[in-house]
């Protein structure tokens, strides 16, 4: 599974530009699917089983990135974020544009009294000396570049958000021998810019219930307060985030299943951020949903860290959830 995680996180596919990661995922899931299709927004929809309940499981395959807004006369590229790009995580980092051009991110010297570091103070140096014959055009998109790192239990990469969710979904699909349900695993697009792929794919599928698989924040590093999630203590069962209250029946189903299978889990109340489940919950006449989260340190930095045991336990939990009849 680690080599799958490496393959997924090393692929460059910011929101709206998911074709590369879709091809990688499609090659993994094609032999496991009863039916596979891509919808108008690029969501990869994989059906397994028929009859029983119609269940949608969403993991977003896009990642944060940047888009060029201006090239100055000395050849420096100004940019804005695709998704939540935090200036404090950028200086010294590297990006790669879709035409192959690499760049390093730097920040203008800042007045020490200035606490905030706006994105407008950052620029990308691609080695150019003027804006004549420049390799980058306005609107060109780049992804962050940082290779996968295996520390044993701890795995580090860019785009663990949410390629780790994609890896969990793929492994759950692989491990699911049979199911009484009609399950739609959806590898969604454009989550980082507002859960847009989940909105259209959920509308098309019209599920009876569902959940997302995504990363959540962490509380177990220096200075990190007010959030009790720890790496290695199990996948998290979401009860609330800033965009959604999970359906209590879904939370119950997940907790009962985890306890029956003797799997570790954590109860999650996330103060900031939300997931594809929010869009699924509000589609059409509404859908009961929840979310299984992988605790992840340094979210939206180029070095997002997860614990491999949490990842494997999330796979087991999902296989248990989908193997048996659901009675909410
Ligand atoms: Co994210
Ligand atoms: Zn995410």
Structure tokens at 259: 């306890």
Residue 164 lies in a domain: yes
Q: So what's the pLDDT on residue 113? A: 62
Residues 70 and 214 grouped into a single domain:
no
Q: Same domain, yes or no, for 236 and 287?
A: yes
Give the tens place of pLDDT for each residue, 94-118: 999 999 999 999 999 877 666 677 8
Of the three residues 144, 168, 186, the one that is the final residue of a domain is: 144
* CATH number of the domain residue 71 falls in: 2.40.30.40
Cα-Cα-Cα-Cα torsion 183, 185, 191, 195, nearest 10 degrees, comes to: -10
Whether residues 288 and 252 fall in one domain? yes
Do 59 and 103 share a domain, yes or no? Answer: no
| Residues 253 and 163 grouped into a single domain | yes
**Average pLDDT of the chain?**
96
Q: Do the domain assignments include residue 7?
A: yes
List, as ranges, residues with CB under 5 A of the ion ligand 1: 161
Please say which residue of 144, 175, 203 terminates a domain: 144
Based on the fold, state whether residues 176 and 308 are members of the same structural domain.
yes
Q: Which residue has the higher pLDDT, 125 or 225?
A: 125
Indicate the pLDDT class of residue 307, thresholds 50, 70 and 90.
Answer: very high
- 142 C-alpha vs ligand 2 centroid, how far in Å? 18
Claim to verify: residue 46 and residue 77 sit in the same structural domain = no
pTM over 0.85: yes
Question: Is pLDDT at 225 greater than 90 in this prediction?
Answer: no
Nearest ligand, CA 276: 2
Question: Residue 29 sits in which domain range?
Answer: 2-63+158-323
Statement to judge: residues 212 and 227 lie in one domain: yes
Q: Per-residue pLDDT averaged across 185-211, rounded?
A: 98
| Region 71-82 average pLDDT | 97
Residue 226 has pLDDT above 90, yes or no: no
| pLDDT score of 36 more than 90 | yes
Question: Which numbered ligand comes closest to the C-alpha of 213?
Answer: 2
Confidence band of 327 (pLDDT split at 50, 70, 90): confident
Query: In what helix (H) or strand (E) does residue 315 lie, and over which residues does it extend?
Result: helix 308-323
Check whether residue 34 and residue 106 sit in a common domain. Answer: no
Domain assignment present for residue 98? The answer is: yes
Domain boundary among 144, 167, 188: 144
Residue 151, in any domain of the structure: no
Q: Which segments of the chain are extended strands (E)? A: 35-38, 44-48, 54-60, 65-71, 77-82, 94-97, 102-107, 122-125, 141-145, 149-150, 154-157, 182-188, 209-216, 236-240, 266-269, 289-295, 304-307
Average pLDDT score over residue span 22-33: 97
Å from CA of 302 to ligand 1 middle: 12
Active site residues: 191
pLDDT of residue 328: 86
Please report which confidence band the pLDDT of residue 199 belongs to, taking 50, 70 and 90 as the band edges.
Answer: very high
Identify any residues that bridge with 101 across adjacent strands, giving them in sequence order.
none
- Is the pLDDT at 130 greater than 90, yes or no? yes
Determine the pLDDT at residue 191.
Answer: 98
Asked if pLDDT for residue 145 goes beyond 90, the answer is yes
Predicted pLDDT of residue 179: 95
177 Cα: distance to centroid of ligand 1 (angstroms): 31
CA of 179 to the centre of ligand 1 (A): 30
Strand partners, 14: 63
Task: Say yes or no to pLDDT of 73 above 90.
Answer: yes
């Amino acid at each position: 599974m680690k080599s799958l995680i490496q393959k997924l996180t090393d692929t460059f596919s910011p929101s709206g530009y998911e074709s590369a990661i879709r091809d990688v995922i499609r090659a993994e899931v094609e032999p496991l699917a009863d039916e596979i299709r891509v919808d108008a927004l690029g969501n990869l929809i994989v059906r397994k089983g028929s009859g029983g309940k119609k269940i949608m499981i969403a993991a977003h395959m896009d990642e944060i990135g940047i888009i060029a807004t201006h090239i100055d006369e000395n050849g420096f590229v100004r940019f804005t974020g695709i998704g939540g790009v935090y200036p404090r995580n950028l200086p010294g980092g590297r990006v790669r544009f879709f035409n192959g051009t690499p760049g390093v991110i730097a920040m203008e010297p800042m007045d020490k009294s200035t606490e905030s570091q706006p994105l407008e103070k950052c620029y990308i140096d691609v080695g150019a000396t003027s804006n004549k014959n420049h390799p980058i055009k306005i609107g060109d998109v780049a992804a962050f570049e940082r290779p996968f790192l295996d520390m044993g239990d701890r795995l580090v990469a860019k785009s663990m958000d949410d390629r780790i969710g994609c890896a969990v979904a793929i492994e759950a699909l692989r491990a699911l021998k049979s199911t009484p349900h009609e399950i739609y695993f959806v590898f969604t697009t454009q989550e980082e810019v507002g859960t847009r792929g989940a909105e259209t794919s959920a509308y098309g599928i019209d599920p009876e219930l569902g959940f997302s698989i995504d990363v959540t924040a962490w509380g177990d590093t220096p200075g990190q307060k007010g959030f009790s999630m720890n790496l290695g203590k199990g996948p998290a069962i979401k009860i609330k985030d800033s965009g959604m209250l999970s359906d209590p029946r879904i939370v119950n189903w997940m907790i009962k299943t985890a306890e029956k299978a003797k799997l570790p889990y954590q109860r999650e109340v996330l103060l900031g951020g939300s997931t594809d489940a929010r869009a699924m919950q509000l589609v059409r006449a509404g859908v009961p949903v929840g979310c299984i989260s992988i605790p992840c340190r340094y979210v939206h930095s180029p070095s997002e860290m997860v614990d491999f045991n949490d990842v494997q336990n999330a796979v087991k939990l999902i296989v248990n959830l989908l193997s048996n009849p659901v009675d909410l």
